[in-house]
Structures are given as C-alpha cells and as structure tokens.
Structure 1
Amino acid sequence: MNIVGLITEYNPFHNGHFHHFKLSKEVTNSSLSVCVMSGNFLQRGEPAIVDKWTRAKSAVDSGVDLVLELPTIYACQSAEYFAYGAIKLLDSLNIIDSISFGSESGNLDLLKEIASILSNETLDFKKHLKKSLSNGDPFPKARNYALKKSLDKDVSKILIKSNNILGIEYIKALNKLKSNIKPFTIKRKGADYNSNVLTGSISSATSIRKTLLENYDLKNISKSIPTHSYRHLKDFYNEYKTFNKLENYNDILLYLLRTNNKEMLNNLMDVEEGLDNRIKNISNKYDDIRVILNNIKTKRYAYTRLQRIFIHLLLGLTEDKFKTYHNSSLTYVRVLASNVNGFKILKQIKKESNVEIITKFANYEKIKSKKLKDMIEIDKKATDIYFLGLNKSKTIKANYDYYISPYIKKD
C-alpha cells in the first residue's frame, strides 16, 4: 500500500483542505492517508476554534484514513520546530511513502533549493548573512539577502508566504532526519491564507474563523466547508454555545502575567533579554490580552511569536522542558480518529515500528519511559486548559482525554 502523510491543523476543516487532500492522493498515487494534526492549541499561538476530536472527526468523515495528534510541545512552536515535530512523527512510523503540503509557490524544486542552503549553510551563505546582520538588518531581511546572493535570484516573495515557509521547513526536517519520505507540493487554490473575506467555495480558514468568532454565523460559511464539517461545527456550537479563542483565557493569562516574575518569563520559549521586561511592564498597564499583545508587538517581536509565548505561559512549557523532549529520540502516536483503512495502517505501524501507539488514553500510564509520559501529560494538561475557555454555563470537567475515545468511522 502507498501511504501519503499530511500535516494539518484543520481549524476548521474546509473545502480547500478537502481539495488538497483529494489532489494529494492523486499526485502521490496513494491509496491511503495518514494525517498528523495539531491538538487543541495551534502553531500561531491560539486555541483551535473547536476541539481536536471534532476536527479529527471532520477529516475522517471527509475521507482521511487516520488522524494522529501532533504532540503539544511541537504544535505551538515556530515553523521550524512545528515542521520538525510533524516530520519526526511521520518518519518514525516507517510506513509513510510521501508527504504532500500546500504552498503559495507550487515550485517544489525551488523550495528544495532554498531548504538545502538553509540546512547546510554554505560558507557563501554565512558570509552574506554576517554582512547583512553587521549592517543592522533584522534576521529575516539578512537571511533573504544571503539567499538572494547564494541562489542568484530574489526569493523574498517566497519567504513572506506562510505555507512556503512551512514547506521549506518540512523539506529541511526530511533532510535532517535523512528520511526516505518523498515530498510533494500542491499550489494553493482560492483565497490567500490570511484573507479575511469569504470568497465562496474556497475561502481561507482565516475568513471562516472570523465569521464564526464575530457572530457565530454558521449559515454564511456553509458554502465554504464540507457537509460533515458543517454538521460537526454545529454540534460543537450547540453544546458549548461558543467557539474558542484566545480572549477566552483573558483572566487566566492576566493572572499568570502579573504573578510570574521576569525570571520565569525569561525561561519560556522565544523570550529573550529585554522582551521579558516589555511583557511584564505592559501587562501591568492593561487588562485586555489583545491590547497587551498589540502594545508589546514591534517589528522585532511578531504578533504570532507573542501569542505562542502566551500559550507557553498558559501551559507551563519552558525552553528547558521543550529541549529535553526535543533532543530525545522519543515519540508516540496518539490516535484521534480512524476509519477501517486506518486500522489497517495501525496494524502496519505495529509491524514496522516500535513507536508507542495510544488508542485508549489511560494506557499511557503503563509506559515505562518517564520522559515520554511527561510529554503525554502536557497533551492532557493542554486539553484540560482548552476546555476552561469554553462556555461557563456548561460544567467543564477535567480529564477529557480519558473520557473521549477516538472517533471510529465504520463504513
């Protein structure tokens, strides 16, 4: 069997995702698919609008065979670490033939060329990078300059697009792991990723989320998402009377920002000297998380970077803790949803790999490696915190990971 791997967030699963999924199977000549999906917190430093099980269910009902959770320690990270964590998981299965990712460029050869230079950092690249940095240029601008000189072409327009950046990082991770998985890319169709306007059948996830979060209007997005996804979104809203967003953690974050000292903030990922002071001072002046973020943000400190820092604070994920897990060879497979073919894939994984597979969550407690158990407990903590952001009129229990079983599509 030929199996394609997909790296996703599905926030929420929409027609563009369905188009990419179907085309991915075609271009890779794959009969089966495995999706690695972020859990309840996402790469841009936000909670998903609906929980991981709802999104996984939408994917499997739309044709994906098996959905696995990307460990939380990687899900809410920079593009480099996010990509590495996802590729590391797929590679550890020893059954994935290819990956397929969307990109604004659609030019795999160029993305590979850029990835190769960034992976190897040739002397020529380092020389031009150092020159640009010494002139006072910020790192992204210096990197673009060094790439332009090394490739003899301007790739700055490539590197400002989020999916191109992720694609380059996927290829870098494949190179680093010396993986046999073959990369494919599909040019993105329809609205730009960051478009705020619904554009019909292929709308951006950003515009869909904006519509849902501003007025909870499901009817307006009905043309932009598959029927199954629409139904699952509706079920979620009927249960919680809301969709999740960062603002729902305003009071918790405010408490953490004001009670943790600068030393603690400095232990978080992506916090450098000076930024800890800025975060502390501004969070003492305002009581609205969006206002705080907008006042901390500068050209040097991007908004998504700051959001990730806030999520790391929420989850207690320090840089030391992340590096402990990242530098180990340990990984695990957490099943969120599957169809009949997905169980065939799991059977093949058990045969070809020694990776820990978790279908019943309570079984993780039997794992011998303390480090691995600690990683999984971060996923559990993320779930517990995620549900705290939902409607307070409903009793929010802890330990949802124990109560909610993987979704199984039987036909």
Structure 2
Amino acid sequence: MSVVGLIVEYNPLHNGHVHHYTRAKEISGADYSVAILSGPFLQRGEPGIISKFARTEMALAMGVDLVIELPASYAVQPAEWFAYGGAALLHATGVVDSLCFGTESGTLDLLLPLSRILAEETPELQERISFHLSAGMNYPAAYSRAAAAVMGFPGEESELLQVLQKPNHTLGLHYLIALNRLNSSIRPFTIPRIHAGYHDEMPAHSAVASATAVRRMLLTQDLNAAAPYLPESTLSILCREFDEGRGPVTWESFRGTLMHLLLTSSPQSLESLLEVTEGLEHRLKRLIYSLKEPHVDELLQALKTKRYTHTKLQRMLAHILLRHTKEEMSPSVLSQGPGYLRVLGFSSEGQKLLKQMKKTATLPVIVKPSSIEHPQLELDLRTSAAYANAFPRPEVRDIFRDYLEGPIRLFH
C-alpha cells in the first residue's frame, strides 16, 4: 500500500488543485492519498472563504481519501512552522510514504541539498538573518539572503537567491527541512505550478487560475465568473454554502469583533500576543484612531511598511482576534509538534486507510473531539466557533459543529 500526502488549504479547491492531486498520485505511484488541511484560518492569516468542513467535502469529491486538520497552532504561521506541522502529521500517520508539493520550477535539485544544511540552524545562519532584519528587511527576505549566503551564493543575482525568493520554493524548502528534522522516510516529490502564479490576481488561462484570482472573482463578481476555473463539485458546494449563509467569509466579517478587541485592549495585553512585535502594539493603538473607515483592509494598509509584509500583519491580526499568546505558541512548544491527528473526513477507501492508521499512528487519532483533552485542540475548537459566528447568517449548530457532528463521509 502506497500513500501520498498533500498539505493544502483549498481556499477554494480549483482546477489547479485537481492537476496537483492527479500528478501527485501519478509521480508517487500512490494507491491512496491523505490531505492535511488548514482549518478556519490560513497560512497567510486570512480566514477561509468557506468552512473547513466544506473544503473537506471538496477534497473528498475530488478523490482525496482521508482529510486531517492542521491545527491552528501551525496553520496560521510562517512557512517554517506551517511546513513542520503538516509534515509532522503526515509522518505521524505511519502510513504516508511520500509528500508531493508544487513549486515554480518543478525540481528539487537546488532545494534538497540546501534543506540538509538548513535542517540544523547554525549560529552563522541566525547571525545572517539577524543582520538583514536589523537592516530593515522583512523576515522572508532576510531568511532567503541568509540561506543563499550560507550555501556560498551571496550575490544579488545568484540562481539560489532567485529560487528562494519564490513563495512555493520557500514553502517547499521548509517541507524538506521538516522531513530532515523529523528523520522521516517520507519521499518528497514536486510538480511545477501551471498557468498561474501564487499571487496572480487575474487569470491568464481559460481553465486555471490561482486561488487568489478565484476568490477575487467570487467576491467582486459572482459564482458564474469563477465557474470556468472550478470543478463542478466545488461550484456546487460553494453555491450551497453561500445560499445557506455560511459564506463568503472575509476579514471584514470579523471587523466588529476585531475593532472591539483593539479598542479595549491595552498595549501590554496586545504585546503578549503572537506576532505583535517591535512595538507594533503601540502602532496599532495609534493608527486605529486615524482610519477614515473602521475596515480591516484599511487598517492593514495603514500598518504596512517595507519591514512588515501584508502577510505578517494579517497573521498578527488573526492572532489578536483569536487571542493566541506568544507563550502557548513559542518555538519550544511548536517544536514538540502537533499532539493528535484530527480526522475531518474520509471516503470508502479512506475508511480502510483510517483503520490501518489507527494501528500505525504515533499520535492519537481523533474522530470525536470530546475523546481527548489537548491545549492545541482547545484552540482549534475555539477558532472554529469564532469563525462560524462570523458567517453571514450564523446558526448555533454551525458554531458548535465540531462538538455536534463527526467526520464527513463521502462514499462514491
């Protein structure tokens, strides 16, 4: 039995994801697939346009056999911890033997040797990162420059630096670093992204667009505009979720709650929260009073500087909204890895895989959240409730769905 792992967000699942899934099974030779899916809030800090349950259903409809939730402790994080959380869960299943991810180049020639060196963060790497940060760079740029220099390619035009400045290469590198740190036997594969860049806001192809472009069409136009870029199953699920008042969810859905927290929190209490660094608590309190309109997008624009990327600031606001403290998500805590395997859904084949996984997993396999107590799980449950409370038409059964319903079963 061969099983390929995918670490995904599916926000929403589109034709590019179908290509990735199909090619991942082909090049790995896998019989089964396991997807590690981000929960309500995603790696770049924004909320999912629809719930984790709807996105799980999309994954199963496409053909994924088993969907496991990436805890919020790792889902809303920079690439290093996002990748580590996802890879650690795949490793802990005891059944996944390969990991396939997308990159701009579709090759691991440069990333594999670099990952072996960077798996052990040397004082030299840390010193170079600190140097670039002190010069005013944001963290992703500082890390790329430091990594390239450690490998002996410090020049502005070096091939390695150019590779590291592409978002999927950076995330891919951290998947490889994570597998090294876990001493995992999982084999990595990569495929090239096709027809759409990670940040492309407009489609350049008749059938494939980035998730960013798809969301833009959904929010500024309608479902029909996005339809050419979506599988029929995704379109149907989106239509149902929107019609029943469970989407679309955007940052503005949380505007009232977030503004209330910012207005009533002291700088000291804000400073205790994750990614509120280097005096940002004071900048937040100062800028919120200068906004023309109390919109999250306007606040993000006011906060943005060369040093603080839009993504870093979105993650900071997510941690403020969800009250994620630096103490509960410190590097020493995160380095211990996720504490469980939370099953969100499975197919008929996935049911067989789940039965096998219960024998091989090195972490508790959770089908009902009430079955164990864990600090990460408590965060997940609170996050899901807060997310559902922001639906256009929230209902109690949606807010407490984690407690009331089991995994999604989709048998073809």
TM-score, normalization by structure 1: 0.92
Q: Which amino acid aligns with 1:41?
A: F
CA distance in 1 between partners of 2:183 and 2:106 (Å):
23
Verify the 8 A CA contact 1:102 1:187 in the aligned structure 2: yes
**Local SS of the residue matching 2:228:** coil
Match status 1:44 vs 2:49: no
Deviation at 1:242, TM superposition (A): 4.0
CA distance in 2 between partners of 1:138 and 1:378 (Å):
28
CA distance in 1 between partners of 2:359 and 2:32 (Å):
17
Residue aligning to 1:316: 323
Match status 1:266 vs 2:271: yes
- Range with bigger deviation, 138-147 or 14-23: 138-147
Deviation at 1:126, TM superposition (A): 6.3
Aligned length: 402
CA distance in 1 between partners of 2:346 and 2:48 (Å):
20
- Range with bigger deviation, 256-265 or 17-26: 256-265
- Range with bigger deviation, 240-249 or 289-298: 240-249
Residue aligning to 2:361: 353
Residue aligning to 1:60: 60
**Local SS of the residue matching 2:162:** coil
User: Residues 209 and 129 from structure 1, CA distance in 2 versus in 1: closer, same or farther, beyond 3 angstroms?
Assistant: closer
Verify the 8 A CA contact 2:136 2:306 in the aligned structure 1: no
Match status 1:209 vs 2:215: yes
Deviation at 1:101, TM superposition (A): 0.2
Verify the 8 A CA contact 1:325 1:375 in the aligned structure 2: no
Task: Map Cα deviations across residues 194-241 of structure 1 (whole Å, 9 max, x no partner).
Answer: 1111332111110100011123x1111111111111111111011017
- Range with bigger deviation, 250-259 or 134-143: 134-143
CA distance in 1 between partners of 2:168 and 2:198 (Å):
8
Verify the 8 A CA contact 2:50 2:248 in the aligned structure 1: yes
Deviation at 1:340, TM superposition (A): 1.0
CA distance in 2 between partners of 1:134 and 1:317 (Å):
26
Residue aligning to 1:380: 381
Verify the 8 A CA contact 1:104 1:188 in the aligned structure 2: yes
Residue aligning to 1:335: 343
CA distance in 1 between partners of 2:127 and 2:282 (Å):
33
User: Residues 175 and 265 from structure 1, CA distance in 2 versus in 1: closer, same or farther, beyond 3 angstroms?
Assistant: same
Residue aligning to 2:94: 94
User: Residues 162 and 239 from structure 1, CA distance in 2 versus in 1: closer, same or farther, beyond 3 angstroms?
Assistant: same
Aligned counterparts, 1:50-129, within 5 A: 50-121=50-121
Deviation at 1:117, TM superposition (A): 3.2
Verify the 8 A CA contact 1:258 1:284 in the aligned structure 2: no
User: Residues 136 and 361 from structure 1, CA distance in 2 versus in 1: closer, same or farther, beyond 3 angstroms?
Assistant: closer
**Local SS of the residue matching 2:64:** coil
Match status 1:155 vs 2:160: yes
Q: Which amino acid aligns with 1:101?
A: F
CA distance in 2 between partners of 1:354 and 1:147 (Å):
32
CA distance in 2 between partners of 1:253 and 1:352 (Å):
42
Residue aligning to 2:311: 304
CA distance in 2 between partners of 1:132 and 1:271 (Å):
20
CA distance in 2 between partners of 1:342 and 1:172 (Å):
28
- Range with bigger deviation, 327-336 or 99-108: 327-336
Match of 1:170 among 161, 167, 175: 175
CA distance in 2 between partners of 1:147 and 1:325 (Å):
24
Task: Map Cα deviations across residues 62-104 of structure 1 (whole Å, 9 max, x no partner).
Answer: 1110111111111111111111111111111111101000011
TM-score, normalization by structure 2: 0.91
Residue aligning to 1:229: 234
**Local SS of the residue matching 1:165:** helix
Verify the 8 A CA contact 1:266 1:273 in the aligned structure 2: no
Task: Map Cα deviations across residues 386-408 of structure 1 (whole Å, 9 max, x no partner).
Answer: 1122114x545531212333221
- Range with bigger deviation, 92-101 or 286-295: 286-295
- State the Cα RMSD in Å: 2.1
CA distance in 2 between partners of 1:195 and 1:10 (Å):
16
Verify the 8 A CA contact 1:13 1:58 in the aligned structure 2: yes
- Range with bigger deviation, 332-341 or 116-125: 116-125
**Local SS of the residue matching 2:159:** coil
Task: Map Cα deviations across residues 359-378 of structure 1 (whole Å, 9 max, x no partner).
Answer: 2333x3xx2xx5x2x22121
CA distance in 2 between partners of 1:136 and 1:162 (Å):
20
Match of 2:189 among 184, 191, 215: 184
Match of 1:200 among 195, 206, 229: 206
CA distance in 1 between partners of 2:40 and 2:138 (Å):
32
CA distance in 1 between partners of 2:43 and 2:276 (Å):
16
Deviation at 1:269, TM superposition (A): 1.5
Deviation at 1:144, TM superposition (A): 3.8
* Unpaired segments ≥5 residues, structure 2: none
Deviation at 1:327, TM superposition (A): 4.3
- Range with bigger deviation, 4-13 or 308-317: 308-317
**Local SS of the residue matching 1:179:** coil
Verify the 8 A CA contact 1:34 1:65 in the aligned structure 2: yes
CA distance in 2 between partners of 1:140 and 1:62 (Å):
33
